[in-house]
A and B are shown apart, each in its own frame.
Chain A
Amino acid sequence: MTNRQDQPSTSGITRRDVLKASGVGLMLGISSLFLPRGYLRLPQQAQTFVSNVDHYQREIAEILMRGMTELGISRQELRGKRILLKPNLVETASGAPHINTHPLVLRGAIEAFLRMGAATVMVAEGPGHRRDTLAVYEESGLADVLTEDGITFHDLNYITGYELPNTGGQTTMKTLTFPGLFQEVDWIVSMAKMKTHHWTGATLSMKNLFGVMPGMYYGWPKNVLHKMGIQNSILDINATLKPHFAIVDGIIGMEGDGPIMGSPKQVGVLVMGRNLPAVDATCCRIMGIDPYKVSYLERADNWLGPIREGAIEQRGETIASVQTNFELIDTIPAQQGIRLG
């Protein structure tokens, strides 16, 4: 898997710039010995794209391609890349398609990445609640779509893993074990659902990556990560994996007692971007949630990405034009006091 830091820089950096930066870096390094972590970090910037999509029958591939282009992703950048799309498939229930990322959003993303020059696109998920991943794949409607499109689906819960040092350092886990399949792809794309969550306030592209951790090592419902602290684990997984892109299905989201028992919420948006904390912060604002009140986002701020509104360049629709308050439940501690003020 390649990450963004591996890509060649296109900016014209001179030797003098490098020397100046080295000097500043040395001074900052020494100073930081006496200051709290992150005190001297330069403010981060990111871009997100919000598109109005009122229902799932729209030309989602076209919309995603426009979004990626607006975000500076070129065909050249994607040419020949192997793309892994990670949807949010948790469990299924009759009359509750809003639990999972909609299959037609996956279809749109597959088409968009292939038309943008990707060599291959695959879909992979390791559901947290169900041992029978194929059942969620089938009952969510995704099997129909991927079978028709000739796209491979992988069950991440049972793929033998490889270890990476835990670069997040928020839990006591020294290493994280990811599915070996990730060593064979270039881009990992988190394709989340826009939902409230009864343990974390909101579940979006960062929390969605719980599903990449193989159940055969982390259990069902990924209980090792719960024990380590959900917020801590979210940060460690994102810091270590360094996902490349996020697309959040907010066409119909979930409000109230998410991520399973909540009610459908028509929002009519797709939100995307390269930086996951920025994408999630934008989603929160759309949902009427203050991202600074969502613990893992507040802690990710200016480390894994920016969540300050002024630091996120908004492309496409404005937040104000699509904002709609998601129901929050007073009796759920993670949802108390997180309403955008």
Chain B
Amino acid sequence: MGFSSLRTLGSAALLRRALPGGGFSSRPNGQFQVDSTAWGILAVKAIGGSEDLLDRSQRVVMREQRQDGRLCMSNSHPDSYWPTPLAILAWHDSQPCRDAQQRALRFLLNTTGVHFPRESDAPSAHDSLLKGWPWVGGTHSWVEPTALCIMALRSAGHGQHERVQEAVRMLLNRQLPHGGWNYGNTFVFGKELHPMPESTGAALAGLAGSVDRDAVLPSLHYLQSEATRLQTPISLGWSLIGLACWDLWPLTGSALVERCLANQSRYGDYDTTALSLLYLGALSGDKAARTPFQIVARQPTVAIE
């Protein structure tokens, strides 16, 4: 299946989740969800979909933003602000969303996970002082939200900010010695934990452009060997994105995506996040595509207003 066919298929699938007033639901005929909408915007942008749909969806995300700049999963869980970097990426290059994006950037730069000095007898081996970002406020920083925040800040030109630089060091510190990342622990009680493709893909995308290839070589090898067996959209999508960021998008990429799309007969319809990630992974193999991850590397550094 070529990139053109993937665009047609992806566009149709995502339109089924687009809401009349703008935004996306997690499933067809569902209700608005902020993370689904942000991922949907990123995928529609990469596909080259309707500007009107993008504009309406970006505005709906703006309406969800809190005064301090965060976007969260529910009003009763204000600390679940992990969609904030997604919104920043979704608002990229949108003039009407510029102020909202600035507020979100300031929120991220003023926010961190909970960090503490590592005691000598601590069961976990990683450097718990290195700051990144958490899934949920008040907890430790983990790999995927940190990778997304790095990409969001870099997309807005803040790649040289000390928080981004520290977050890069944090991701490198959480890399498993034999390659890959998991959610964010390396050793617990002296045992090296297992890597996970989706975490590895996200971390590699977050680090692309910031570190030398040698620093992530075992992880690239791990992900290259894993990618061909992956059946599910979040793992495959992030893996293809991560590999593409290092110019290693696999020759069999399209076939893998096709197989994964066909697996919906087995798993049921994918939710919007999973579907968007899969199409973003698929289109990241197309040099002409405008995925946010390709955009990140092109942004100049600017200061926060």
Q: Is the CB of B266 within 8 A of A223?
A: no
Report if A158-B271 is in contact (Cβ < 8 Å); known contacts: A135-B234, A198-B123, A219-B134: yes
Stretch at the interface among B161-169, B183-191, B208-216, B294-302: B183-191
CA distance A45 to B167 in the complex (A): 53
Interface size class of chain A, counting residues whose CB lies under 8 Å from the partner chain: 35 or more
Task: Please report the C-alpha to C-alpha distance between residue A138 and residue B263 in the assembled complex, in whole angstroms.
Answer: 11
Q: A134 at the A/B interface (Cβ < 8 Å)?
A: yes
**With A129-B182, A130-B196 known to touch, is A332 a contact of B189 (CB < 8 Å)?**
yes
CA A54 – CA B77 in complex, angstroms?
45
Contact residues in A for B134 (Cβ distance below 8 Å): 219, 223
A135-158 residues with Cβ-Cβ distance < 8 A to B are 135, 137-138, 143, 147, 152-153, 155, 158
Whole-angstrom distance between the Cβ of A333 and the nearest chain B Cβ: 8
A335 (CB) vs chain B CBs: closest residue: B189
Residues of B within 8 Å of A220, CB to CB, are 135, 142, 144, 183
Docked complex Cα distance between A226 and B273 (Å) = 26
Residue pair A135, B142 in contact (C-beta under 8 Å): no
Question: What 0/1 readout, one digit per residue, does chain B (23-37) give for beta carbons within 8 Å of chain A?
Answer: 000100001010100
Task: Report the Cα distance A329→B123, complex, angstroms.
Answer: 13
User: Assuming the A-B contacts A131-B198, A261-B193, A331-B189, are A217 and B139 also in contact, with contact meaning beta carbons closer than 8 angstroms in the complex?
Assistant: no
The verdict on B74 contacting chain A, using a C-beta distance below 8 Å, is yes
Interface pair A224/B123, CB less than 8 Å apart: no
Partner of A216, one of B80, B188, B191, B266: B80
| Cβ-defined contact, A177 with B77, below 8 A | yes
Check if B267 sits within 8 Å of A161, measured CB to CB. no
A217 pairs with B73, CB closer than 8 A: yes
- Tell me the residues in window 194-214 of chain B with beta carbons closer than 8 Å to chain A beta carbons: 194, 196-199
- B: contact size bracket: 35 or more
Is A217 within 8 A of B80, CB to CB? yes
Known contacts A91-B194, A132-B234, A198-B123; is A221 also within 8 Å of B189 by CB? no
Q: Does A292 contact B (CB under 8 A)?
A: no
Q: Is A131's CB under 8 angstroms from B76's CB?
A: no
Residues of A within 8 A of B33 (CB): 160
How far, in angstroms, from A131 to B274 measured CA to CA in the complex?
10
Chain A residues, CB < 8 A from B235: 132, 135
Query: How would you classify the secondary structure of chain B's contact residues: helix, strand, loop or mixed?
Result: loop
A135 touching B135 in the complex, CB below 8 Å, given contacts A91-B196, A158-B26: no
Q: Does A56 contact B (CB under 8 A)?
A: no
Decide: B267 and A217 in contact? CB cutoff 8 A. no
Q: Which residues of A lie under 8 Å from residue B194 when comparing CB positions?
A: 91, 93, 260
Q: Are B266 and A129 in contact (CB under 8 A)?
A: no
Given A216-B80, A261-B193, A221–B183 Cβ distance below 8 Å? yes
Tell whether B57 is near chain A: CB-to-CB under 8 Å.
no
Say yes or no: is A227 at the interface (Cβ < 8 Å to chain B). Answer: yes
For A177, what are the chain B residues with a Cβ–Cβ distance below 8 Å?
A: 74, 76-77
Which of B138, B190, B230 contacts A227 (CB under 8 A)? Answer: B138
**Residues of chain A with a CB closer than 8 A to B266's CB:** 143, 147
Say yes or no for A218: interface residue by CB 8 A criterion: yes
Asked if A175 is an interface residue, CB under 8 A from chain B, the answer is yes
User: A161–B75 Cα gap in the complex (Å)?
Assistant: 12
CB-defined contacts of B73 to chain A, threshold 8 Å: 216-217
Q: Answer whether residue B115 sits at the interface, using C-beta atoms and an 8 A cutoff.
A: no
CB of B182 within 8 A of CB of A217, answer no
B242 at the interface (CB under 8 A from A): no
CB distance from A132 to the nearest CB of B (A): 4
Contact between chains at B136 and A217 (CB < 8 Å)? yes
Contacts of A130 in B (CB 8 A): 183, 196, 198
* Contact in complex: B76, A175 (CB < 8 Å): yes
Given contacts A91-B196, A135-B234, A161-B74, contact A218 B136 (CB under 8 A): yes
Q: Which residues in A have their C-beta under 8 angstroms from that of B26?
A: 158
Q: When chains A and B are docked, how far (Å) is the Cα of A103 from the Cα of B259?
A: 24
Q: Is A163 interfacial (CB-CB < 8 Å)?
A: yes
A331 to B142, CA, bound (A): 26
- The answer to whether the Cβ of A301 comes within 8 Å of any Cβ in the partner chain is no
A131-B234, A143-B267, A220-B144 known; 17 other A-B pairs, CB under 8 Å? A91-B182, A91-B194, A132-B197, A132-B235, A134-B267, A138-B232, A147-B266, A152-B268, A158-B26, A175-B76, A177-B77, A217-B74, A221-B183, A223-B135, A224-B136, A331-B189, A332-B189
Hey, which bits of chain A sit against chain B, CB under 8 A? Answer: 91, 93, 129-132, 134-135, 137-138, 143, 147, 152-153, 155, 158, 160-161, 163, 175, 177, 198, 215-221, 223-224, 226-227, 257, 260-261, 329, 331-332
